[in-house]
């Protein structure tokens, strides 16, 4: 209680402080010239200087196989962990980025059935000690993901994609390089032939080369592996290396890696001589500093989004130095198919029709930072279907009531809706409740503390406890295969241990068959298939009720050039071609 009061007090005073210096003005993002997904060209004078990264968010992992936060995927890839493929930088905020080869010679060769992928690793890529990066290094790195009791916290796409049998509980029969149980299975699924690495998929995976943009598929040198002790022990094969050590909650300094050969790298321009990363700050303090734009802070950027309370001050005080872009996240409502009420098709339709997204937008800070949506897939993805809102952004209680009456349930229909408790969502759900109640529901709201929220949803003990649940999700890489199956494929999500991320226990054979078809497709065909599944989920099955997309607001110092947000690749400032005037 005491801590809450202190934090609230600090936030209030900061908000007052920020507001006090606010004034009118417009702003736009700065951009750097570039073309066709390649790094932008900047004048030779752009090279040099020190870029400062101010952060209020502690880095959990730098171990490539454990990194699962957008900022760290992006920064890790641009600074010290090259991946087989990556997304190129963009010329202006919001532009789509191209999938390009990075450590591989091209973006991969896929078999006709999309079950085998081959990549050839470029010559000349070296670790910071001068040794060559080999196919075996990539193979070993990927194997670490399977050591789920040591290499914790990272994405499990390798386990999902690769053709390695699974145990009854869904875990892999390969237990990683430390235990070596099932090593032969892994050695069959991932093979090295000289510099060529081949991946065998468990099922068709047309977008596997996009998954490889995550550092979890990066190389790791076996002789440098110390398990959990390697968490912050950065060993570079990119343009920068760590100078000294990384201190959790404080940060570290990156300097040039003299073993990096720019001839092998068309993505990274590596302009600054040095990059300092200070993560000891608070969000409010770092925004005060960025807005004040004094001294070394003129060379600073941040990956932390501006607090809503700072928005007007950012717009007034950082004119020309701020950016508003769509975030990778979608917030949505999940009707629970295990609840008596929501197993009724008409009741779910009524809930969808009665949902007043404008109440969400207003309570969350206005349409500059939140946009209403009826798609799970984010607008940053090429498969975004832009599904129209069923009843406008305000919902239609009258139409919803008709649907509810047609459900055969007795009005008012009691429902229990849960959400992750915080001040903003308290207001949001008070607004949503009004819409639902006007349509004939009798809504009981249950706020659950953030640290228990998803655990509660995923517990099988709570399978029938709530009728609908709030949730949020962002694509891991710009493919809807990291959205639709992750949230709605009952086969991969629901088990005796709980619903996984399919919190509403939605299980539909036709829908799952559609997922299998989409996986086997590539390019525009895949986009179309994923988009259709998304639209079906929200307008045919009412398995989800998408609510809003967040917007990210970033600020940079006045000496920073090329500070462009790459919304395709994680949605943060891209370090590939950023520079500082000096």
Partner 1 sequence: MFYYILRRLASVVVMVFLITATTFALFFASPIDPARYTCGKNCTPTILEGNRKALGYDQPATVQYGKFLAGLVVGREFPDNEQLKADHPEQIVKCPAPCLGYSPSQHRTINEMVSEAWPISLSIAVGAFILWMLIGVGGGIVAALNKGKWQDRTIVGTALIGFSLPTFFVGLVLLTFPAIKWGWVPIPKYVGFTENPALWAANLILPWITLAFFFAASYVRLTRAYMIETLSEDYIRTANAKGVAKWAVIFKHGLRAVLTPIVTAAGLDLGGLLGGAIITESVFSLHGLGYLAVHSVTTMDLPTIVAMVMIVSTFIVVANMLVDIAYGFIDPRVKLAK
Binding site for partner 1 (CB under 8 A): 3, 6, 9-10, 13-14, 17, 58, 60, 68, 148-150, 152-156, 169-171, 178-179, 225-229, 231-232, 247-250, 278, 280-282, 285, 288-289, 292, 294-295, 451-452, 454-455, 458, 476, 486, 495, 497-498, 500-501
**Angle ∠(269,72,12) on CA atoms, nearest 5:** 115
Q: Is 300 in contact with 578 (CB distance < 8 Å)?
A: no
DSSP-derived letter for residue 137 is H
Nearest distance in Å: CB 179, partner 1? 8
Nearest distance in Å: CB 266, partner 1? 31
Integer-rounded Cα Rg, in Å, for the chain is 24
Nearest distance in Å: CB 6, partner 1? 6
Whichever of 9 and 25 has its CB closer to partner 1, that residue is 9
Whichever of 58 and 398 has its CB closer to partner 1, that residue is 58
What is the token pair recorded at 427? 């207001």
Whichever of 282 and 522 has its CB closer to partner 1, that residue is 282
Alpha helices, DSSP H, located in 276-396? 283-292, 311-317, 345-354, 357-363
DSSP-derived letter for residue 559 is T
The answer to whether the Cα torsion of 356, 358, 361, 367 is positive or negative is positive
Whichever of 388 and 460 has its CB closer to partner 1, that residue is 460
CB atoms near residue 492 (< 10 Å): 16
What is the token pair recorded at 476? 């891991």
What is the token pair recorded at 240? 């920068």
Q: Is 364 in contact with 551 (CB distance < 8 Å)?
A: no
Helix, strand, coil abundance in the chain, percent, nearest 5 = 35, 20, 45
What's the chain's length in residues? 582
Whichever of 205 and 324 has its CB closer to partner 1, that residue is 205
Whichever of 45 and 181 has its CB closer to partner 1, that residue is 181
Whichever of 48 and 474 has its CB closer to partner 1, that residue is 474
Peptide bond into 580 cis (omega under 30): no
Nearest distance in Å: CB 497, partner 1? 3
Nearest distance in Å: CB 451, partner 1? 6
Report how far residue 272's alpha carbon sits from residue 240's, in angstroms, rounded to the nearest whole number: 10
Q: 437 phi and psi, to 5 degrees?
A: -65, -35
Whichever of 69 and 270 has its CB closer to partner 1, that residue is 69
Nearest distance in Å: CB 441, partner 1? 29
Bridge-based pairing state of the strands 579-580 and 560-561: antiparallel
């Amino acid at each position: 209680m005491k801590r809450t009061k202190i934090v609230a007090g600090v936030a209030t005073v900061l908000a007052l402080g920020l507001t006090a210096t606010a004034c009118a003005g417009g702003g736009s993002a700065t951009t750097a010239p570039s073309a066709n997904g390649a790094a932008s060209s900047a004048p030779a004078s752009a090279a040099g200087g020190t870029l400062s990264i101010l952060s209020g968010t502690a880095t959990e992992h730098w171990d490539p196989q454990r990194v699962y936060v957008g900022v760290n995927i992006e920064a890790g890839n641009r600074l010290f962990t090259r991946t087989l493929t990556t997304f190129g930088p963009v010329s202006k905020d919001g532009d789509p980025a191209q999938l390009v080869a990075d450590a591989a010679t091209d973006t991969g060769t896929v078999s006709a059935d999309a079950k085998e992928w081959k990549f050839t690793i470029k010559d000349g890529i070296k670790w910071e000690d001068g040794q060559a990066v080999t196919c075996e290094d990539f193979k070993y790195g990927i194997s670490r993901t399977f050591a789920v009791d040591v290499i914790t916290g990272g994405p499990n796409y390798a386990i999902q994609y690769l053709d390695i049998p699974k145990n009854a509980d869904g875990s892999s029969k390969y237990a990683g390089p430390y235990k070596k149980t099932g090593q032969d299975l892994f050695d069959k699924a991932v093979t090295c032939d000289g510099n060529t690495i081949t991946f065998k998929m468990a099922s068709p995976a047309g977008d596997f080369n996009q998954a490889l943009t995550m550092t979890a598929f990066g190389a790791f040198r076996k002789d440098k592996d110390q398990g959990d002790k390697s968490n912050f022990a950065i060993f570079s094969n990119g343009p920068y290396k760590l100078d000294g050590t990384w201190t959790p909650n404080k940060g570290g300094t990156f300097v040039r890696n003299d073993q990096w050969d720019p001839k092998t790298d068309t993505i990274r321009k590596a302009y600054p001589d040095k990059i300092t990363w200070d993560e000891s700050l608070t969000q409010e303090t770092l925004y005060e500093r960025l807005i004040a734009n004094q001294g070394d802070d003129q060379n600073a950027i941040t990956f932390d989004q501006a607090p809503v309370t700072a928005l007007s001050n950012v717009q007034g005080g950082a004119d020309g130095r701020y950016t508003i872009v769509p975030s990778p996240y979608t917030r949505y409502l999940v009707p629970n198919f295990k609840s008596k009420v929501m197993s009724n098709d008409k009741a779910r339709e009524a809930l969808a029709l009665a949902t007043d997204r404008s109440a969400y937008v207003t309570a969350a800070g206005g349409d500059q930072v939140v946009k209403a949506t009826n798609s799970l897939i984010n607008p940053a993805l090429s498969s975004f279907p832009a599904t129209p809102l069923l009843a406008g952004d305000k919902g239609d209680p009258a139409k919803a009531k008709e649907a509810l009456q047609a459900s055969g349930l007795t009005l008012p229909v009691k429902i229990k809706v849960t959400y992750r408790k915080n001040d903003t969502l308290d207001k949001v759900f008070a607004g949503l409740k009004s819409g639902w109640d006007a349509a004939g529901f009798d809504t009981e709201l249950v706020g659950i503390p953030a640290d228990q929220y998803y655990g509660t949803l995923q517990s099988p003990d709570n399978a029938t406890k709530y009728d609908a649940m709030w949730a949020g999700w962002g694509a891991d890489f710009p493919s809807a295969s990291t959205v639709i199956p992750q949230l709605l494929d009952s086969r991969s999500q629901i088990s005796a241990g709980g619903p996984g991320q399919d919190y509403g226990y939605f299980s539909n054979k036709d829908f799952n068959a559609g997922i299998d078809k989409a996986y086997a497709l590539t390019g525009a065909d895949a986009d179309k298939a994923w988009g259709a599944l998304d639209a079906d989920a929200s307008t045919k099955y009412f398995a989800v009720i998408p609510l809003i997309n967040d917007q990210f607001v970033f600020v940079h110092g006045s000496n920073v050039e090329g500070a462009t947000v790459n919304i395709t690749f994680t949605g943060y400032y891209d370090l590939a071609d950023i520079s500082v005037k000096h």
